[in-house]
Copies of this chain bind each other. A is one copy, B any other.
Amino acid sequence: MADNDRKRAPLKTRRPPVGASPGTLIADPAARRSELRLTLISPEKFKTIDNASIDELNAHCEKWPVVWLDCTGLANIQLIEEIGRIFNLHPLALEDVVNTGQRPKVDFFEDHAFVAMRMIDVTAHRYEQIAVFFGRNFVVTFQEREGDPFDPVRKRIAAAMPNRLRSRGADYLAYALIDAIVDSYFPPIEAASEVVDGIEDQMLNTPHKHQMRQLHELRRDANVLKGVLWPMRDALATLIRNDVPFVTAETKIFFNDTLDHSLRLIELVENQRDMLTGLIEMHLSLTQARTNDVISYLTIVSVIFMPLTFLVGVWGMNFEPESSPWNMPELKTYYGYPAALLFMLVVAVGLVAFFKWKKWL
Contact = CB atoms under 8 A, between A and B. Distances in A.
Interface in A260-294: 260-261, 263-264, 267-268, 270-271, 274-275, 278, 280-282, 284-285, 287-289, 291-292, 294
B295 A301 contact: no
Contact of A213 (B19, B282, B302): B282
A327 B187 CA distance: 74
Given A296-B295, A323-B336, A326-B337, A20 B282 contact: no
A21 interface: yes
> Which of A13, A176, A268, A298 is the most central at the interface, judged by chain B CB atoms within 10 Å of its CB?
A298
Contacts of A316: 312-313, 316-318
Contacts of A180: 18-19
Copies of this chain per assembly: 5
A184 interface: yes
A264 B13 contact: yes
A54 B216 CA distance: 54
A246 interface: no
B257 A22 contact: yes
B331 A326 contact: no
A254 to B, nearest CB: 6
Contacts of A341: 314
Contacts of A227: 267, 270-271
Given A151-B19, A291-B296, A306-B302, A318 B320 contact: no
Interface in A134-182: 149-153, 155-156, 159, 164-165, 176, 179-180
Contacts of A326: 334-338
A15 B204 CA distance: 31
Interface in A224-269: 224, 227, 231, 253-254, 256-257, 260-261, 263-264, 267-268
Contacts of A292: 287-288, 291
A350 interface: no
Given A271-B11, A318-B317, A299 B309 contact: no
A45 interface: no
B18 A187 contact: yes
Contact of A313 (B224, B254, B312): B312
A308 interface: yes
Given A19-B183, A313-B313, A253 B323 contact: no
A332 interface: yes
7 contacts: A90-B253, A231-B263, A287-B292, A288-B288, A308-B310, A317-B337, A319-B336
